Chain A
Amino acid sequence: MLALASATTWARGPETTVAKDDALAPITRLAQPPPTQVAFAEARFSALLSRPLVVSGQLSWEGGDRLQRHVDMPYVETTRIVDGEVSMHRAGRGTRHFSLDRAPPLKALLDSLVAVLSGDRARLSKAFTPRLDQEGDGQGWTLTLKPKSPQLARSLSHIRLDGDRQGLRCMLITEANGTLSVDLLGPLAARMPAQPTRANLTALCRHAD
């Protein structure tokens, strides 16, 4: 009850603070009312692949647990998550439906993203152990989320969100098998290198210009 009340207080704005949760304050400042849309470019590094897969498009949050990921390069694909149900439509391939529960890392991604976008710290701390690192100038920050449930930990190692005062810059998802996806968000999306590597992307995310 207390947690819920304080969460509501937080959502109102950064002026009201509760000392204990001060650490996550920069995150809650990002809270914005839905719907919001942001461009993304994603590179996926997998042991199966000799070079990463790169796709780009828009991510939209429609409020609640409704999220849309629209890919327009190099092919068109729309994934919608609505109330625990995932539908994936790819041009010329039809639509595939599956339950969000069949894809625990995707559920974790939704949890973390929606929690950050709605400033819901309680939700963040429920599923993850969050750790916030601020850079010296107070401009940049990195939020690392480690899954709490051992079950989820079997497939997901951790999620890293990088941001600054303006908002989220990057989202890095490291799966348990070592596969890494890096999403460059907002203006950064346009700056996906022609030859992305783990190193150059991490650098791009960390260092606000």
Chain B
Amino acid sequence: MPTSPVRVRAALLIGWLLVLALLGLYVARTLRVGTDLRSFMPPPATADQRLLMDQIGSGPGSRLLLVALDGAPPAKLADLSHGLAAALKQDSRFTQVLNGDFQPDSLPSALLPYRYLLSTTLDTHRLDAAYLHDQLQQRLEDLASPAGGMLETWLPRDPTLEVLKLAQRWSPPHAPEVRDGVWIDPQGEALLLVQTRAAGFDPGAQQDAIAALRKAFDDLPQRGAATLTLSGPGYFSVVINRQTRHQADWIGYISTVGFILLLLLAYRSPSALLLGALPIASGALVGLAALVTAYAEVHGITLAFGFTLLGVAQEYPIRLLSHRRAGASNLQSVRGLWPLLLTAIASACIAYLAFYASGVPGLQQLAVFTIFGLLGAGLTTRYALPHVLPERFVDVARTPGLARFRRFLDDLPRPRWIPLLVTVAVAAMLYFAPGSFWQNNLAKLTPLPMSMLKTDARLRAELGAPDVRYLLVLDAPTADGVLTLSQAMQPKLQALVKQGALDGVELPSRYLPSLAVQRERQDRLPDRAALEAALKRATNGMPFREDAFAPFVHDVETARALPLLTPAMFERSPLGQRLASMLVQRGADPRAKPQHAGATPTRSWVGLATLSGVHDPAALAALSAQTGGKVHLLDIKQASESLVAAYRSRILTALGVALLLLVVTVSVALRSLRRAWHVLGPMTLATFLVLAVERVAGVEISLFHLVALILAAGLGLHYALFFERETGDPDEQRRTLHATVVCVLSALLVFGMLAWSSIPVLRAIGLTVSLGVAFHFCLSILMAPHAERDDAAEK
């Protein structure tokens, strides 16, 4: 092939850049990034896992933000608390705002007559003359007491104080002290409980809500030096997100600069560096374009991991740059490399196909992105890059010191027992490693500063906010069935509270009684004539004006004819939001698969009772047996761990399948099982060696380690493939070594930086890939067969 004239090269380059720009434009216009962590979870298998997936983030506990105001005198903080609560109640991002303020009118006026159906009074009393006389006598005494002013306006409508009884019933069980009308803790902070509409583990939406909350606080007049402290699962997810991004960013900057310097040093040509970046840019854009075409929303984690995994593709242009030699055109060089590169690309793509089969939406996206990305980078390296690279270059085989390094490596002994030794060492290390093998606790990967956790524990205790770990699950075919069950459980749970098994429980029936109970209460309400007669007898001799209780008579008459209050009706009121989060329909998550034949498909409503201060989970778990499984304790930690374990077994299966496919691919490509062993042997052993070393160092293996192991294995496969390549030319061997060393150094640079991160996810990836690259490189050399032969030939 004749050398491309400069003009043709320039035209090709411009054309290439144009295509990239168009792709970029398409991606930028279509890309929608999602942040819901649920799409990185495997499909739930058990009922509890399914419930967890429905509830993770949207459950009552996880949508709660704990707010503390500090830095000013309590009276001032109380004003701020009132102001903040008023502002947030106007904001649709928040479904409930509590600050301790008692408002008898928190029940909307239209629902007020329902108080007779909601309160327990009518279970034990009738609105007859005797009861009313007793109540009204008390009200007279109340009126003459210092509290009289508080009640006076309510008495005509509510002489039996049902609204007050409901307010007491609905206030948090262990609320902090109220001063100046708001919750103030012993430290003098004003406390608020705010429930967001957004799911707790949707950092994007939480960030939005938290920003709105902070702005509402900042906009308060005369805020002065007062400060706002936040806590809760939603806030944590935002903090973790920000921290991770921040560290990843600055590590990224440093390693990019290092990477550029390394390539400049290796090829001594800025144009080679710039042009060498084109295939990986093409790969990234092709991958993104495939993603946005196939999926409406791309997950943020897919992008982060995807770009990490695409790092493998940087090898393709590096191989081409290093293997150019005098007397051969770029095209001839790339043709010589292509069979090996194609094998490497195909193997990696096959491995990621296994990811696609995992059934986890986030991993499937990752597979689509990486496969298309690798193909894009590989094909542009083969078919476009050689045409735009300048034909004048420095042959890297002449790099000073390279020949000596090669000789040093060649002189290393290559005993045949190395694989055996490594295998035994790996087995021994895995056997004696401390701690448990797998890290199932997702929370450990996303650590929070101790101070934050302490604040959370303190605020949670002050506010009597429920445990995040446990939920009591009530199953029934209908919403009303859940409420009936909830009522039946009430005395049993109260007994458990008395025994000290837990501190408190909040059942859905606390907010809304079942229809049957409501009907019973309704039936006990007297008709107008009877009530008026009873009132007349009850007030005989009392100083009340004759028509003082007309609004009461009217409300009772209304209540007698009311349609019973269903959850759907109640949930439309501001108070109903609390119930809505405790009473959910199963299968609200569209991803949930139909239940197994053995399960009970008729149970389709779930009540979630929040528990606080669980001391004896076993006693609560025993309720399950007593109720035939209709009520059971959901241990969110355990359910999420089992979910992670299920997730891992899917990944491991995928990896097993990928390994088999790799053996087949590499054997077919090299047309020799023996040669395939020389490639796959070092790769497999090095992978297990990384695992063993990390385990011996006390690292528990998480999903992120597995993803990183796969990336390292992809790199290792390249090293082994190229070292295994049969070639009698010492220059070509040096070029192979040069390319490999550049690759190893750049990988060590990028991932070694990550290994220093304080965030476990980044550290897991960085450490694993760095170790992997080092082990793959060493084992590829020590187990390469031909070096020994060449060594002998040279002698």
Contacts of A77 in B (CB 8 A): 141, 145
Q: How close is A97's CB to chain B, nearest CB, in angstroms?
A: 11
Contact A103 B180 (CB under 8 A): no
| Whole-angstrom CA separation of A15 from B543 in the bound complex | 50
Q: How close is A199's CB to chain B, nearest CB, in angstroms?
A: 18
A109 within 8 A of B: yes
Contact B149 A53 (CB under 8 A): no
Contact B146 A48 (CB under 8 A): no
Using A48-B155, A48-B548, A50-B543 as known contacts, say yes or no to A105 and B149 having CB atoms under 8 A apart. Answer: yes
Chain B residue nearest to A51 (CB atoms) is B543
Contact B543 A75 (CB under 8 A): no
- Among residues 41 to 85 in chain A, which have CB atoms less than 8 Å away from a CB atom of chain B? 42, 44, 46-55, 69, 71, 75, 77, 79, 84
Contacts of B178 in A (CB 8 A): 99, 101-102
A25 within 8 A of B: no
Contacts of A47 in B (CB 8 A): 545
Q: How close is A30's CB to chain B, nearest CB, in angstroms?
A: 22
| Whole-angstrom CA separation of A101 from B546 in the bound complex | 33
Contact A49 B149 (CB under 8 A): no
Contact B140 A79 (CB under 8 A): no
Chain B residue nearest to A84 (CB atoms) is B179
Contacts of B179 in A (CB 8 A): 84, 99, 101
B123 within 8 A of A: no
Contacts of B394 in A (CB 8 A): none
A168 within 8 A of B: no
| Whole-angstrom CA separation of A86 from B147 in the bound complex | 9
Contacts of A202 in B (CB 8 A): none
Using A48-B156, A99-B178, A101-B178 as known contacts, say yes or no to A86 and B146 having CB atoms under 8 A apart. Answer: yes
| Whole-angstrom CA separation of A106 from B544 in the bound complex | 23
Contacts of B147 in A (CB 8 A): 86, 88, 96, 98, 103, 106
Contact of A99 among B177, B543, B546 (CB under 8 A): B177
Contacts of B141 in A (CB 8 A): 75, 77, 90, 93
Contact B144 A49 (CB under 8 A): no
| Whole-angstrom CA separation of A77 from B138 in the bound complex | 12
A8 within 8 A of B: no
B124 within 8 A of A: no
A179 within 8 A of B: yes
B102, B141, B180 pick with most chain A CB within 10 angstroms: B141
| Whole-angstrom CA separation of A8 from B167 in the bound complex | 44
Interface size, chain A (Cβ < 8 Å): 36
A49, A51, A69, A181 pick with most chain B CB within 10 angstroms: A49
Using A53-B543, A179-B152 as known contacts, say yes or no to A102 and B181 having CB atoms under 8 A apart. Answer: yes
| Whole-angstrom CA separation of A46 from B548 in the bound complex | 11
Contact of B148 among A44, A86, A102 (CB under 8 A): A44
Contacts of A177 in B (CB 8 A): 152-153
B102, B146, B153, B180 pick with most chain A CB within 10 angstroms: B146
Q: How close is A105's CB to chain B, nearest CB, in angstroms?
A: 5
A111 within 8 A of B: no
Contact B180 A101 (CB under 8 A): yes
Chain B residue nearest to A44 (CB atoms) is B144
Contacts of B144 in A (CB 8 A): 42, 44, 53-55, 71
Contacts of A84 in B (CB 8 A): 179
- Among residues 144 to 184 in chain A, which have CB atoms less than 8 Å away from a CB atom of chain B? 155, 175, 177, 179, 181
Contacts of B148 in A (CB 8 A): 44, 179, 181
Contact B146 A106 (CB under 8 A): yes
Contact B149 A88 (CB under 8 A): no
Contacts of A179 in B (CB 8 A): 148-149, 152
| Whole-angstrom CA separation of A84 from B182 in the bound complex | 13
Using A99-B177, A102-B102 as known contacts, say yes or no to A79 and B145 having CB atoms under 8 A apart. Answer: yes
Using A48-B155, A48-B544, A99-B178 as known contacts, say yes or no to A53 and B146 having CB atoms under 8 A apart. Answer: no
B140, B179, B543 pick with most chain A CB within 10 angstroms: B543
Contact B177 A53 (CB under 8 A): no
| Whole-angstrom CA separation of A106 from B147 in the bound complex | 7
B143 within 8 A of A: yes
Chain B residue nearest to A110 (CB atoms) is B146
Contact A109 B146 (CB under 8 A): yes
| Whole-angstrom CA separation of A182 from B68 in the bound complex | 42
Q: How close is A137's CB to chain B, nearest CB, in angstroms?
A: 34
Q: How close is A107's CB to chain B, nearest CB, in angstroms?
A: 9
Contacts of B180 in A (CB 8 A): 101
Q: How close is B186's CB to chain A, nearest CB, in angstroms?
A: 13
Contact A49 B545 (CB under 8 A): yes
B660 within 8 A of A: no
Q: How close is A75's CB to chain B, nearest CB, in angstroms?
A: 6
Chain B residue nearest to A48 (CB atoms) is B548
Contact B544 A50 (CB under 8 A): yes
Contacts of B140 in A (CB 8 A): 53
B150 within 8 A of A: yes
Contact of A46 among B102, B143, B150 (CB under 8 A): B143
Contact B181 A88 (CB under 8 A): no
Contact A88 B145 (CB under 8 A): yes
Q: A96-124 interface mask toward B, CB cutoff 8 Å, 1 = contact, 0 = none?
A: 10110111011001000000000000000
Contacts of B146 in A (CB 8 A): 69, 79, 86, 88, 103, 106, 109
Using A93-B138, A101-B180, A101-B181 as known contacts, say yes or no to A48 and B143 having CB atoms under 8 A apart. Answer: yes
Contact of A102 among B150, B155, B546 (CB under 8 A): B150
Contacts of A44 in B (CB 8 A): 143-144, 148
Contact B543 A103 (CB under 8 A): no
Q: How close is A68's CB to chain B, nearest CB, in angstroms?
A: 11
| Whole-angstrom CA separation of A101 from B144 in the bound complex | 19
Contacts of A96 in B (CB 8 A): 147
Contact A49 B543 (CB under 8 A): yes
Contacts of A98 in B (CB 8 A): 147
Q: How close is A58's CB to chain B, nearest CB, in angstroms?
A: 14
Q: How close is A149's CB to chain B, nearest CB, in angstroms?
A: 10
Contacts of A101 in B (CB 8 A): 178-181
Q: B108-147 interface mask toward A, CB cutoff 8 Å, 1 = contact, 0 = none?
A: 0000000000000000000000000000001011011111
Q: How close is B178's CB to chain A, nearest CB, in angstroms?
A: 5
| Whole-angstrom CA separation of A69 from B548 in the bound complex | 28
Contacts of A54 in B (CB 8 A): 144
Q: How close is A106's CB to chain B, nearest CB, in angstroms?
A: 5
Contacts of B177 in A (CB 8 A): 99
- Among residues 176 to 192 in chain B, which have CB atoms less than 8 Å away from a CB atom of chain A? 177-181
Contact B145 A48 (CB under 8 A): no
Contacts of A88 in B (CB 8 A): 145-147
Chain A residue nearest to B180 (CB atoms) is A101
| Whole-angstrom CA separation of A51 from B145 in the bound complex | 16
Contacts of A52 in B (CB 8 A): 543
Contacts of B143 in A (CB 8 A): 44, 46, 48-49, 53
B145, B147, B180, B544 pick with most chain A CB within 10 angstroms: B145
Q: How close is A191's CB to chain B, nearest CB, in angstroms?
A: 19
| Whole-angstrom CA separation of A67 from B181 in the bound complex | 20
Listed A/B pairs (30) with beta-carbon separation below 8 Å: A44-B143, A44-B148, A48-B143, A49-B143, A49-B544, A50-B543, A51-B543, A53-B140, A53-B543, A71-B144, A77-B141, A77-B145, A79-B145, A79-B146, A84-B179, A86-B147, A90-B141, A93-B138, A96-B147, A98-B147, A101-B181, A102-B150, A102-B178, A103-B147, A106-B146, A106-B147, A106-B149, A177-B152, A177-B153, A179-B148
In addition to A52-B543, A53-B143, A55-B144, 18 A-B residue pairs with Cβ atoms within 8 Å of each other are: A42-B144, A48-B152, A49-B544, A53-B144, A79-B146, A96-B147, A99-B177, A99-B179, A101-B179, A101-B180, A102-B178, A103-B147, A103-B150, A106-B149, A109-B146, A177-B152, A179-B148, A181-B148
Q: B interface vs A, CB < 8 Å?
A: 102, 138, 140-141, 143-150, 152-153, 155-156, 177-181, 543-546, 548
Q: Which 7 A-B pairs have the closest CB atoms?
A: A53-B144, A99-B178, A49-B543, A106-B146, A51-B543, A105-B149, A55-B144
Q: A interface vs B, CB < 8 Å?
A: 42, 44, 46-55, 69, 71, 75, 77, 79, 84, 86, 88, 90, 93, 96, 98-99, 101-103, 105-106, 109, 155, 175, 177, 179, 181
